[in-house]
Chains A and B, each alone.
Chain A
Amino acid sequence: MAKVLLDVRELTTKYVTRFREDVYAVDHVSLKVEEGKSLGIAGESGCGKSTLALSLMGYYFAPLHYMSGEIIIDGRKITGMDPDDIRKSVLGKEIAYIPQAAMNALNPTRKVINFIEDVIQVHDYGATKKEIYDRARSLFEHVGLPAEVLQKYPVELSGGMKQRTVIAIAVLLSPKVLIADEPSSALDVTSQKMVIKMLMQLMEDGFIGSLIFITHELPLLYNVTDDIMVMYAGQIVERGTAREVVFDPLHPYAKGLMGSIIVPEEGLRSVKLTAIPGVPPNLKNPPMGCRFADRCKYVMPECRVTSVALRDIGGGRMYRCVLSEAELREAYKNG
C-alpha cells in the first residue's frame, strides 16, 4: 500500500460574517490522498470547494476559522501548530496552493525572478540569489518554460504563460501535496491543455507527491485525476474513482452534475442537457436533514428530518443518501 501523504479527519472550518453568524463551509470532511495519486474535487460555485482547499493548508486567517478535525501531512500533524511555523515550514514545502486567479498572484512591479527570490527566502532562509536562480532555471527548463521568463515582468507574459509560471513557483520547493484550485478556468482550451500537461509531468517526475485538483469541469477531472470527490453544501456527497463517478454516479446530485457535461463528441446534440433546479442552501442555517433534499427528484419525507451519514460501500466508494445503492439504481433506470 502506498504511503498516505495527506490524511484529513473530520475537518470542520467556518466563516464568521460581519454579523457574527457562523457559516460552516467545510463540514466534517475526511479524505486521504496517497503518494502519486490525484484527487479531484467537483461541485458548483459556493459548495465549499475553495474553502476546503484553503482549510487543508492549516493556515487560517479571518474570516476563516478552524473548528475541529485533524490534518496530517506525511505523518506530521499540522493542526494546532503555531501559525508562524506553519507558514515557514509547512506551506510551500509540504503543501502548496495555486489560487483560483493565479495569474494575478504575481507582483506586477517585480520581475519574475525577484518575486521568486522573495518567496523562497521566506521558507529557505539563507539561500543565495545564485542558488535560487539556478534552481528556478532548471525547473523552468524542465517544464518547458523558456528561461527568459525569469527576467520578465508579469505584464509581458500571456495568461497561459503566467499560470504556468505560478505553478512552477508553487512547486519550486517540491511540496508533497499540491492543491490546484481551478488552475485552468480562465484559460482557453489550448493553454488549459498545456497547464494540465505540466501538472501531469510534475507528478510523473516526482516534483510533487500528490495532487488535489479542484474544478467544476467534469470532463477535465475525468482525464486528470484518479479519484473524484463531489462536494455539496460543505459536505462530501460522493467519492469514487473517476470512472465510477462519471459513468455510474450514485448520489442524485452527482447524477445531476453528469447531466451538464458538454464534450465535442458524436451524440451530444441529441442529448438534452439537464440542469439541477434551484440553488444550494444557505449555510448560515443549513437544513436539518439531507442538504440536497430541496432540489432532489427522489426526495422522501424522511430526507428532511434525519441527517444522512456518508455510506462506505467498499473500494473507496462512498455516498451520502438515505437510499441504498440498489434503490438508487432502480430510481435512475425509471428516470
Chain B
Amino acid sequence: MAEERKVCLSGTGLTKVFGLGRHKTVAVDHVDFNFYEGEVVSIVGESGSGKTTLAKMLLGLINPTEGEIYFQGQKRDISTHKKRREYWKNIQAIFQDPFSSYNIFNKIDTVLLDCIHMRGGRNLPRAKKVEMMAQACSFVNLKFEELTNKYPFELSGGQMQRLMIARIFLLMPKILVADEPTSMIDACSRATILDMLMQLRSEIGMTIIFITHDIGLAYYVSDSVYIMEHGKFVESGSADDVILHPKAPYTKRLISDVPKIYEEWDLSTV
C-alpha cells in the first residue's frame, strides 16, 4: 500500500542554523521526511522545537543551511523570483495569527482577486470573478456581499481565519502548510476551522502539513504524525501508532501534558 502513494514533498538532511560561532543555534537538525500526496501530516513539538522554522523552509521563505527539499520527486528550485512564484502556486500557508496575515491596505475583494489572478484568471470577465469569490466565501460560511468594500481588520479572528481558507480554496495549491491555525481561536470555532480544512482536502485532494503543539488536535486531524524535539524528529508514524502507543519518552511526556477527561491528569510529572 505504502509503495503506491506518491511522495509529494520530501527532504533529506534538512538543517537550519541561526547565528555563528558561539551564538550558533541549530533550529532544525538534519531532518528527513516524506510527505505523501493527499495525506494530513502533523508536526508536533513544544515552543522552540523548530516547527515554524521547518515550515518556513518548506515554504521557501528562508533558505536551508544544508540539505535538499524535493517537490514531486524533483529538486526544488526557487533561485529566481519567477521560479519562486511558480513554486508558491503549489504550496500555500495559513499562519497562526490571522490579524497579521493580511496586508492592511488591501480590501477583502483585492485579497481574493489576487488569488484568482495568481491562478491565471486575470482575463476572466468581472462577473465570473465575483461568482468565484462568492463561491469561495460560501464554502467557508461567509457572505461575500457583506465582505465587499471591507478591510480584513473589520472581521473577527475566526472570520479572518476562515477568509484565509477561502483564499486557499481559490488557489487550490497541492500543499497547504497550516502553522497552528487554531491556536488563537477559541475552542468552539476551532471545530469549524478543522472541518473546513478536512473538507478542503477531500475536495481538492491536497496535502496538509499541520503544525501544532496540541497533540490532541494532531491526533484528531492527521494520518501521520512527526514528533519534533530540539530540531530533530524523535518519532514518526501513523497517528494511531504514535499517539496511542508512544515509544519516545518525549512523546509520552507531550501526551501526559495534555489535560484529558477520561483519564487522570498527572500533575506531578512536571
Contacts and interface: CB of A to CB of B under 8 A. Distances in A.
Interface stretch (B6-14, B18-26, B58-66, B213-221): B213-221
Given A44-B188, A190-B46, A192-B257, A263 B216 contact: yes
B238 to A, nearest CB: 11
A41 interface: no
A218 B188 CA distance: 10
B188 A188 contact: no
Contact of A189 (B156, B240, B254, B262): B254
Residue among A159, A197, A263 with the highest chain B CB neighbour number at 10 A:
A263
Interface residues of B, number: 39
Interface string A171-205: 00000000000000001111111101100100000
Interface in A248-306: 256-257, 259-266, 268-269, 273-276
A256 B188 CA distance: 9
A256 B190 CA distance: 13
A246 interface: yes
Interface string A17-61: 000000000000000000000000000111000000000000000
Contact of A274 (B47, B191, B214, B215): B191
Interface string B161-195: 00000000000000000000000001111111011
Interface string B257-269: 1111111010100
A153 interface: no
A117 interface: no
B2 interface: no
A44 B244 CA distance: 30
Given A190-B46, A260-B190, A217 B220 contact: no
A189 B219 CA distance: 15
A264 B243 contact: yes
B113 interface: no
Interface residues on A, range: 35 or more
A132 to B, nearest CB: 28
Interface string A156-169: 00010000000000
Interface string B140-175: 000000000000000011100000000000000000
User: Secondary structure of the B side of the interface?
Assistant: helix
Interface string A216-256: 11111011100000000000000000000010000000001
Interface in B227-270: 239-240, 243-244, 253-255, 257-263, 265, 267, 270
Contact of B195 (A194, A261, A265, A275): A275
A122 to B, nearest CB: 33
A278 to B, nearest CB: 10
A265 B263 contact: yes
Contacts of B260: 219, 223, 263-265
Contacts of A259: 191
Contacts of A189: 46, 213-215, 254, 257-258
Nearest to A267: B262
Nearest to A256: B188
B253 A218 contact: no
B244 A223 contact: no
Given A189-B214, A189-B254, A223-B259, A45 B186 contact: yes
A28 to B, nearest CB: 23
B203 to A, nearest CB: 17
A197 B194 contact: no
A264 B188 contact: no
Name the residue in B157, B218, B262 with the highest tally of chain A Cβ atoms < 10 Å from its Cβ: B262
Nearest to A200: B267
A264 B191 contact: no
A68 B187 CA distance: 31
A264 B270 contact: no
Given A44-B188, A194-B270, 8 more contacts: A159-B47, A189-B254, A196-B259, A218-B261, A219-B259, A222-B259, A263-B260, A264-B215
Interface of B: 46-47, 156-158, 186-192, 194-195, 213-220, 239-240, 243-244, 253-255, 257-263, 265, 267, 270
Interface of A: 44-46, 159, 187-194, 196-197, 200, 216-220, 222-224, 246, 256-257, 259-266, 268-269, 273-276
28 contacts: A44-B188, A45-B157, A45-B189, A189-B258, A190-B257, A192-B257, A193-B257, A197-B270, A217-B187, A222-B259, A222-B261, A223-B260, A246-B261, A256-B188, A260-B191, A262-B187, A262-B217, A263-B259, A263-B260, A263-B261, A264-B216, A265-B261, A266-B244, A268-B219, A269-B219, A273-B191, A273-B220, A274-B191
